[in-house]
Structure 1
Amino acid sequence: MLLAWITQKAGLSLALGAFVSGVLLAETDYRYQVEDYIKPFRDVLLGLFFITIGTLLDLTVVIHHLPAVLLTLILLLGLKLLTVYGPARALGEQDSIALRTALAMAPAGEFGFVLLAQTEGLHLVPATPLQIVLAAMLISMILAPFILLM
């Protein structure tokens, strides 16, 4: 909570502070205790997260710009795949392990939605490109289990 408040006072978002707090807590000895505390809320909050993201999506924009959504999806998955695969191979991982790791990391993550919400709130990106990126990110998360089967 303190870190979230500090990030807000620094001109950043509460969500960013909460995210950083979670990352820091995950690296401490209290990790398992924190997991036990939040376990009852996890499923409810996860559902709420996806409902919130779903309400941000404008399907008419997505349908009218479907080729751009698919191109963005391919770019998102491709860039993330290369970003993980290349360094994994450079660090000496076997080809199959590097590829499997890259496939697991290729879909968009939750923090991307936090960043996207911030850009929307600050009006940094016009609505249509924002919707295209949001749709591509959602599709990548939907495809994640199938990507891992590859």
Structure 2
Amino acid sequence: MHAEYAAAGEPLPAVVPAGPDNPMGLYALYIGRLYAIHGTNANFGIGLRVSHGCVRLRNDDIKFLFENVPVGTRVQFIDEPVKATTEPDGSRYIEVHNPLSTTEAQFEGKEEVPITLNKSILAVTNEPDVDQTVVQQAVQDRSGMPVRLN
């Protein structure tokens, strides 16, 4: 990252002290040597692919993790852009996020990333009480929010 900025004529300092001007916020949990789960001083990047591989959280969320997650806790990132569930009361939900891009055209937004509904998702969405129009709209919208299907 330092080399990238230096090549663009914007060299980065070797160290940015903790504080409100630090782009990583006040807290960081490192995953190995290169990546971290951290806060930010610019909330616009939360949930977007705008960093160099780190995960940005809201400052209250990273503070909670920093204070409650023991050192050495195993971290696993799960890439599941579509989730579906049937709740104990019988209500059914789908949550659809835009999948990670696999091509340059997808990354640049010139081409939509395809979404496939796997067997476990279809087991929920193909039930007779599910409104298929709502399923199709949720897949199209990719809002990242749970949508009730029945």
TM-score by length of structure 1 reads 0.23
TM-score by length of structure 2 reads 0.23
The answer to which structure has the higher helix fraction is 1
The answer to which structure has the higher strand fraction is 2
Q: Which has the larger radius of gyration?
A: 2
